[in-house]
Amino acid sequence: MIIPAIDLIEGSVVRLYQGDYGQKTEYKIDPVELVKQYASDGAEWLHIVDLTGAKDTTKRQLTLIKQMVDLEVMKFQAGGGIRTEQDIIDLFEIGVTRVVIGSLAVNNAELVMSWVEKYGAERIVLALDVNIDSEGNKYIATHGWQESSGVTLESVVEQFLSVGLKHVLCTDISKDGTLQGPNQALYKTLAQQYPQISWQASGGISSLADIELALTNIKGSGLNNDSPSGVILGRSLLEGKFELKQAIAL
């Protein structure tokens, strides 16, 4: 599955370079119109990151996200600084299908695990973004990628499998926003190690060849879930590296 992504800051479509708010590119396109465009090109899901809400929870862009969801042209998964159960409830109430949870899944795993049990594993996506060291250890970064948790990706996955974890969005931070190709070996390894999970590959995709290989690497994982594994596309679509229709055709 191909999942286009829209990152939002104060109502504008943006992309950050490796999570750095100081390295922001703003795109002069209305996010609601972009949703319409992606839907007309055949997208069934959209990934939304509320970067304003991630930085300041009192400024969540719920009104804008609701306008996007109310188009009723596709399903949505959304996140950005989820810290409380009310944050989840607010997104569900405006029609978001899945909530994406990042740092909190590491910093307060017991709480997030209780949400997975309460709302169902199909409705929660863990965003586990990693820095990989010279020995191949996959350490999860938190707080908008600004801090290292010292916790490995595998340890978190193992913990959450106990409550039926189904969806994980994984980004190799060193690849994000670079258009230099994703970490293909990472996704192949994860899909083989945890085939019961629907993996979402993200970061660095710049060509149709990147997408085709990524889809091959994660193929077969998550087949028992409601949605198959997928590839997240952000900057590559916004900068016209290829058309969404071409990616979906793969």
pLDDT tens digits for range 51-90? 999 999 899 999 999 999 999 999 999 999 899 999 999 9
- 129 has catalytic annotation: yes
Give the pLDDT score at 238. 95
Asked if residue 144 has pLDDT above 70, the reply is no
Given 50, 87, 129, 176, which residue is catalytic?
129
Q: Please say whether the beta carbons of 43 and 244 come within 8 A.
A: yes
7, 87, 172, 176: which is the annotated catalytic residue? 7
pLDDT attached to residue 222: 84
| Catalytic residue list contains 7 | yes
What pLDDT, in 10s, does the model give residues 218-228?
988 887 777 77
CATH of domain 2-249: 3.20.20.70
Q: For the chain, which residues make up each domain, given as ranges?
A: 2-249
